[in-house]
Amino acid sequence: MLLVLIYLLSAVAADAYPYVPPWMTLPPAPGLPKTTTTGYVNATNGVNIWYAQFGPSLSETTSNGMTPILFIHGAQASSDYWGHQISYLLHQEEPSTIIAMDLRLMGRSTYGDLSTSFSLKAADTIAVLDHLGIDKAAVVGWSNGAVTLVNLLLDYHSRIERAFVFAAGYDADTSLNRTTGTAQFNATSAVYFERTLEELVELSVDPELVPAARQAYTEEYVREPHWTADDFARIPMPYEDCEAAPLVWFVEGAEEEIVNKGAARTMHEWTPGSGWMVLPDVSHFA
Ligand SMILES: *[C@@H]1O[C@H](CO)[C@@H](O)[C@H](O)[C@H]1NC(C)=O
Ligand SMILES: *[C@@H]1O[C@H](CO)[C@@H](O)[C@H](O)[C@H]1NC(C)=O
Ligand SMILES: *[C@@H]1O[C@H](CO)[C@@H](O)[C@H](O)[C@H]1NC(C)=O
């Protein structure tokens, strides 16, 4: 009797709530927890980069022998997308200082002459670290922010203590493949691109420039990056120099709408000593 009842109830529940895998959903951007400081750093091309700081002060983190953590969001987004990760880390027993920055032309950062490239964004990141007096950071990058993080590993590895590179590509011609019109693309990417227009207008210091900024990012992904194994060979290896080598993880979702599957594994193979991980049940939008 009980079993029949359970069977009937679960059949009803299954009808009422069909299973939707996480990668077919796009929950709202969570927004940021309480900041301790926010500000702008003046970068190149007349662009000013917005950043926010959370948790203990930098001097507290440094005196505890810990490393500050910096988050870099994806294209068409803002730091707000990191709300859950930042809150989670702030609730650890001994949290580090956390910093989030809005990429140039995105979020609350400004537009200057509307120029963008991964090397400019890597330089913007260094400008934020310099401004805050941070020698080395643990950096988490997603998508466009993960490509920026790869650029940091290639050109500024002495400033990166560890890197979590999620959903990056390494070559605009071969590793970025936006297959539009599929159910998965419609469920996440199509919703994302539509929704972020409103979000950016809401956050922008100059909403009229949002469409041009979005276009600049679309063109950037057609143009770059073009990195090969030779470029990744510039990242120091832990086998040779444990002090200098950043601890690097290349990570991708088991599902992908934007970057070709396997890009993380390729970068891992080009970076001896790095880690590689596939997150189950999530996509580019984790
Ligand atoms: C630096 O950025 C702030 C914030 O956008 C701005 O008010 C200030 O004018 C900028 N300074 C320069 C020299 O561009
Ligand atoms: C893009 O992805 C589709 C579907 O997975 C695949 O058929 C196509 O070959 C890919 N294109 C490139 C250039 O990799
Ligand atoms: C995805 O959306 C496009 C545009 O609205 C539509 O033409 C297409 O049929 C959709 N594909 C699926 C698999 O839902």
The pLDDT of residue 18: 85
Q: Whose CA is nearest to atom 1 of ligand 2?
A: 177
Residues contacting residue 167 through CB under 8 Å, at least 6 positions apart: 74, 142, 143, 146, 251, 252, 253, 256, 258, 259, 264, 284, 286
Q: Determine the distance separating the centroid of ligand 1 and the alpha carbon of 94, expressed in angstroms.
A: 35
Q: Is 194 in the pocket of ligand 3 (CB under 6 A)?
A: no
The token duo for 7 is 């069977």
pLDDT of residue 17: 80
Reported as a single tens digit per residue, the pLDDT across 147-200 is 999 999 999 999 999 999 999 999 998 777 667 888 889 999 999 999 999 999
Q: Is 184 in the pocket of ligand 2 (CB under 6 A)?
A: no
Q: Which residues pair with 71 in a beta bridge?
A: 100, 140
Tell how far the Cα of 188 is from the centroid of ligand 3, in angstroms: 12
Q: Is the pLDDT of residue 213 over 70?
A: yes
Q: What pLDDT is stored for residue 160 in this prediction?
A: 98
Convert the pLDDT of each residue in 216-243 to its tens digit: 999 999 999 999 999 999 999 999 888 8
